Amino acid sequence: MLLLNLDHVALAVRDLDEALDRFARLYGVTAASREVVASEGVEEAMILVGGSQVQLLAPLSPDSPVARFLERRGEGIHHLAFAVPDLDAALAHLAAEGAELVDAEPRRGGGGSRIAFVHPRTFGGTLTELVEST
């Protein structure tokens, strides 16, 4: 399996507008994109930082996974995402190595990208997302 790049670091936030305003004031950056990803129960914004991105995730409802994360842990790092050239091959490799996959099959994420998640128990208690590089 080949990791191409750190695609993004995702931060869970309660209020996306407030978080975007705070990022703009503190760091002088604005969102490159913003969209609702109903299948994930979030509204997301992507902020470009060099060759990577910061993804801000706000829940669409109180029962979404990000809302539950915020309730348990508060705002902060939600997951790390790595770009891979072939998501199917990456998932097969991880399964063969005994990784606990949240997604055995790819699904669609923001921007229509193919994504899959690896359970935090697999490595260091950190939720990991794989994003197929296009």
Question: Is 55 an active-site residue?
Answer: yes
Query: If you classify domain 5-132 with CATH, what class do you get?
Result: alpha beta
Give yes or no for a contact between 70 and 24, defined as CB atoms under 8 angstroms apart: no
Question: Is 75 an active-site residue?
Answer: no
Of the residues 40, 43, 129, 132, only one is catalytic, namely 129
Q: What are 5-33's pLDDT values in tens digits?
A: 999 999 999 999 999 999 999 999 999 99
Of the residues 44, 53, 78, 132, only one is catalytic, namely 44
Name residue, tokens 């790819």: 106
Quick one: pLDDT at residue 1?
Answer: 74
Closest of 67, 5, 128, 19 to residue 34, by C-alpha? 19
Question: Is 129 an active-site residue?
Answer: yes
Q: What are 37-90's pLDDT values in tens digits?
A: 998 999 999 999 988 999 999 999 999 999 999 999 999 999 999 999 999 999
Give yes or no for a contact between 87 and 105, defined as CB atoms under 8 angstroms apart: no
Of the residues 40, 43, 55, 78, only one is catalytic, namely 55
Q: Would you call 89 helix, strand, or coil by DSSP? A: helix
Question: Is 8 an active-site residue?
Answer: yes
Of the residues 8, 53, 78, 132, only one is catalytic, namely 8
Q: Would you call 46 helix, strand, or coil by DSSP? A: strand
* 127: phi then psi, degrees, rounded to nearest 5: -65, 130
Question: Is 53 an active-site residue?
Answer: no
- What's this model's pTM, rounded to 2 decimal places? 0.91
Of the residues 40, 53, 78, 79, only one is catalytic, namely 79
